[in-house]
């Protein structure tokens, strides 16, 4: 199926049919990771540039692995290794990279809206938003939706709790969009100081009490406190935060017996989630990471493969 947008900037670019189509393509690529030779020729001769102006372990590595498993030429550029460290602007950097004719740019940037600004200066090159400030992280939401569907066999009708620093979380914003598209009920949970006023306008419930709401949840999505985006700490101490909003074995006893627990990473063990829960039987954290490679293979293929060219 044709994706309406040439770029993946936001979950609002994708309707339910398009997301289903991405998942169908993902399914065809999942088994490549289990082969002795983990490579298919789908993107031979294509160039993917990973342009990361913010640190990343999972997203950058999985985009690199995804591109290489599709036989694309993959180039990684970080802020510290690029001429941005000498004062070059983002748009000048992108225009210079465009002169080398890449097929796809994968961009992570601390400023909300940076990939959208880059998209406006692109000609044929496609762009994938790998996380822009506190705005969106659409590929994370896609892999999260797929992971939920893998384990619950559906998304519609599930009650998903997103817990923690909602205000600074691009993961929360993108997941809310995707989960609502699939008909899930979403409740955001955290201290008042970390829940943006007006978030109910996105069609989500709001709770300030994890212990109260946890028995209703089918999926618990824990979030890290985004210290790098905080000014003053919006809670008295990490210990108090953890006591009220941390997921540990005692509070988990209140949850449904088939609850699943997710976290986009990086995990701060002992703050938002205890090690026993992060590594326990309800945790899907490493399934999320595994699915990230196949989902990103699908996105690279759909944006730059022969399929995309025949639809152009
Ligand atoms: N989930 C996620 O975006 O992790 P990284 O910051 O390691 O890419």
Backbone angle region of 308, left / alpha / beta, with phi > 0 → left and psi within -120 to 50 → alpha: alpha
In sequence order, what are the beta bridge partners of 49?
Answer: 75, 105
Q: For residue 312, is the peptide bond before it cis, meaning its omega torsion is within 30 degrees of 0?
A: no
Whether the Cβ atoms of residue 274 and residue 245 lie closer than 8 Å to each other:
no
Greatest extent of the chain over all pairs of C-alpha atoms, in Å: 57
pLDDT for res 226: 82
Q: Which atom of ligand 1 is nearest to the CA of 57?
A: 7
pLDDT for res 203: 97
59-to-108, 186, 210, 263, 304 alpha-carbon distances in Å: 9, 24, 29, 14, 19
Kindly report whether the global pTM for this prediction surpasses the value 0.75. yes
pLDDT for res 232: 64
Whether the Cβ atoms of residue 189 and residue 207 lie closer than 8 Å to each other:
yes
pLDDT in tens, 213-272: 999 999 999 999 887 777 667 777 889 999 999 999 999 999 999 999 999 999 999 999
Please state, rounded to an integer, the average pLDDT across all residues of the chain.
95
pLDDT for res 305: 74
* pLDDT < 50 regions, the chain: none
303's enclosing H/E stretch is helix 285-304
The whole-angstrom distance between residue 64's C-alpha and the CA centroid of its chain comes to: 15
Pocket of ligand 1 (CB under 6 A): 56-59, 131, 140, 264-266
State how far the Cα of 179 lies from the Cα of 186, in Å rounded to an integer: 7
Ligand 1 center to 311 CA (angstroms): 31
DSSP 86: G
Ligand 1 center to 56 CA (angstroms): 5
pLDDT in tens, 139-166: 999 999 999 999 999 999 999 999 999 9
Pocket test for ligand 1, best of 140, 262, 285, 295 (most atoms within 8 A of CB): 140
87-113 per-residue burial string, b: 16 or more CB within 10 A, e: under 16: eeebeebbeebbeeebbbbbbbbeeee
Whether the Cβ atoms of residue 206 and residue 188 lie closer than 8 Å to each other:
yes
211-to-33, 107, 169, 187, 278 alpha-carbon distances in Å: 39, 38, 21, 13, 18
Tell me which residue has its CA closest to atom 6 in ligand 1: 56
77, 80, 83, 86: CA torsion to nearest 10: 170
Ligand 1 center to 73 CA (angstroms): 22
């Amino acid at each position: 199926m044709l994706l309406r947008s040439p770029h993946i900037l936001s979950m609002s670019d994708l309707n339910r049919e398009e997301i289903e189509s991405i998942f169908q393509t993902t399914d065809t690529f999942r088994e490549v990771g289990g082969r002795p030779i983990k490579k298919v020729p789908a993107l031979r001769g294509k160039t993917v540039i990973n342009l990361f102006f913010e640190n990343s372990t999972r997203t950058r590595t999985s985009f690199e692995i995804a591109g290489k498993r599709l036989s694309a030429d993959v180039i990684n550029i970080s802020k510290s290794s690029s001429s941005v460290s000498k004062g070059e602007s983002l748009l000048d950097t992108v225009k210079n990279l465009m002169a080398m004719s890449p097929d796809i740019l994968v961009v992570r940037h601390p400023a909300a809206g940076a990939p959208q600004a880059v998209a406006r200066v692109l000609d044929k090159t496609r762009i994938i938003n790998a996380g822009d400030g506190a705005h969106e992280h659409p590929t994370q939401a896609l892999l999260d939706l797929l992971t939920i569907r893998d384990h619950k066999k559906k998304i519609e009708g599930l009650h998903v709790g997103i817990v923690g620093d909602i205000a600074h979380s691009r993961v929360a914003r993108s997941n809310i969009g995707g989960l609502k598209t699939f008909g899930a009920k979403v409740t955001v949970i955290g201290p008042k100081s970390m829940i943006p006023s007006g978030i109910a306008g996105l069609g989500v419930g709001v709770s300030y009490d994890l212990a109260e709401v946890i028995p209703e949840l089918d999926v618990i999505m824990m979030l890290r406190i985004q210290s790098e985006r905080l000014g003053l700490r919006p809670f008295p101490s990490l210990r108090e935060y953890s006591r009220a909003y941390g997921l540990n074995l005692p509070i988990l006893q209140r949850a449904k017996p088939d609850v699943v627990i997710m976290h986009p990473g990086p995990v701060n063990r002992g703050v938002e989630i205890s090690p026993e829960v992060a590594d326990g039987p309800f945790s899907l954290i490493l399934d999320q990471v595994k699915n990230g490679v196949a989902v990103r293979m699908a996105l690279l293929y759909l944006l730059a493969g022969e399929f995309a060219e025949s639809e152009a």
